[in-house]
Amino acid sequence: MIVHHVLSIDVVDRSVDPNTGIIRTERILGCKQKAPGWIVRLFGGSEDAYVREVSFVDPATQTATITSVNLSLSQFATCYESIRYTPSPDGRTTFAQTAEIQARVALWRSAADKLENWLVQRFEQNAQLGKLGFTDVLRQLWETREQRTAQQS
Amino acid sequence: MSQSLSEECTPLKRKYDACFNAWFEGYLEPAVSASASSEQRAKFAQQKATEFENSCGKIWQEYRQCIQKAVKDKGLDVLLEQARQENPLKEPPPPQPLDNPRS
């Protein structure tokens, strides 16, 4: 895998909708990601962080949507991240990315704020990485395809 | 490509991934063909779904058994179940919230 902090990838569910042709894939990604020391000290937990990721590939609209949420430490905070690739009229691909971060706790205020801030920072640092990783996967898929088409024509 | 969260499942995971990738290769191109009517596309999707089950169904069952156990051993089954209940994500999320690209 291209994104270096992803250590493991497992498919836990996958289906092909026989009517729409949409492929739904649910995966668990394992990452080495150090939580701040004070979180580990307070709540326990480990260096292994796991993420649930659900993706939809719709061949009819040529759209791919990927939503992910953390499993580890999810009792304290969740970060929903969604990215979508759609074809735009000029022949390029539109990339859209959103994130929703929520501290679940009625922890004392400052700790919850600290946690949210840390998570927002992490997201900003990693957003680019995730995009690069998946873009690379897509590029590989489509480049081989284009080469083949080019050779044929 | 990459490994499984359980070393034990990695060989099965790689077999399954390879099977899926081989199937997927032949899936996208005809499926995205713009000239196809929705009826033709549905027929194709059905045919390919069956083909996927036939060629990858067996290895999927083996891999799934292995990974389900591994997920449980790591205590992730409870967290996964919670996440599924909170947000099943059975359908593609509506485009609305993503309409304002940030980058």
Domain assignment present for residue B101? The answer is no
Q: Residue A14 and residue B20: Cβ atoms within 8 Å?
A: yes
**Which amino acid type is present at position A97?**
Q
Q: Which domain holds residue B11?
A: 7-88
ipTM of the complex: 0.88
Contacts of B3 in chain A (CB under 8 A): 7-9
Flag whether pLDDT at A1 surpasses 50: no
Out of A56, A65, A94, closest to residue B101 by CB: A94
Separation between Cα atoms, residue B68 and residue B76, nearest integer Å: 10
Domain assignment present for residue B99? The answer is no
Please state which CATH class domain A6-152 belongs to: alpha beta
Domain assignment present for residue B68? The answer is yes
Contacts of B103 in chain A (CB under 8 A): 95, 97
Helix ranges (DSSP H) in chain A: 37-43, 109-152
Instruction: Enter the DSSP assignment of A36.
Output: P
Model confidence pLDDT, tens digit, residues A32-42:
766 666 665 66
Q: Higher-confidence residue: A111 or B100?
A: A111
Q: How many structural domains are present in chain B?
A: 1
**From the CA of A28, how many Å to the nearest CA of chain B?**
9
Q: Which of B7-11, B14-18, B43-47 has the lowest mean pLDDT?
A: B43-47
Contacts of A14 in chain B (CB under 8 A): 20, 60
Q: Residue B29 and residue A145: Cβ atoms within 8 Å?
A: yes
B89 Rama class: left (phi>0) / alpha (psi -120 to 50) / beta: left
Average the pLDDT over A55-79 and give the result: 86
The residue of chain A with its CA nearest to that of B77 is A71
Domain assignment present for residue B53? The answer is yes
Separation between Cα atoms, residue A137 and residue A141, nearest integer Å: 6
* Residue labelled with tokens 């395809």: A145
User: Among residues 53-112 of chain A, which lie with CB inside 8 Å of chain B?
Assistant: 54, 56, 58-60, 62-63, 65, 67, 69, 71-72, 74, 80, 82-84, 86, 94-98
* Highest averaged pLDDT of the listed ranges A14-23, A141-150, B29-38, B89-98: A14-23
Task: State residue B101's pLDDT score.
Answer: 46
* Highest averaged pLDDT of the listed ranges A105-109, B1-5, B13-17: B13-17
User: Among residues 17-36 of chain B, which lie with CB inside 8 Å of chain A?
Assistant: 17, 20, 24, 27-29, 31-32
Contacts of A141 in chain B (CB under 8 A): 28
Q: Which of A71-80, A85-94, A139-148 has the lowest mean pLDDT?
A: A139-148
The answer to whether the beta carbons of residues A49 and A30 sit under 8 Å apart is yes
- Residue A17 is encoded by which pair of tokens? 């909708």
Place A119 in a pLDDT band, splitting at 50, 70 and 90: confident
Domain spans of chain A, in order of start: 6-152
Model confidence pLDDT, tens digit, residues B38-95:
788 788 888 889 999 999 999 999 999 999 999 999 989 999 999 999 999 999 887 7
Flag whether pLDDT at A74 surpasses 50: yes
The residue of chain B with its CA nearest to that of A9 is B4
Can you spell out the DSSP letters for B1-66? --B-SSGGGHHHHHHHHHHHHHHHHHHHHHHH-TT--HHHHHHHHHHHHHHHHHHHHHHHHHHHHH
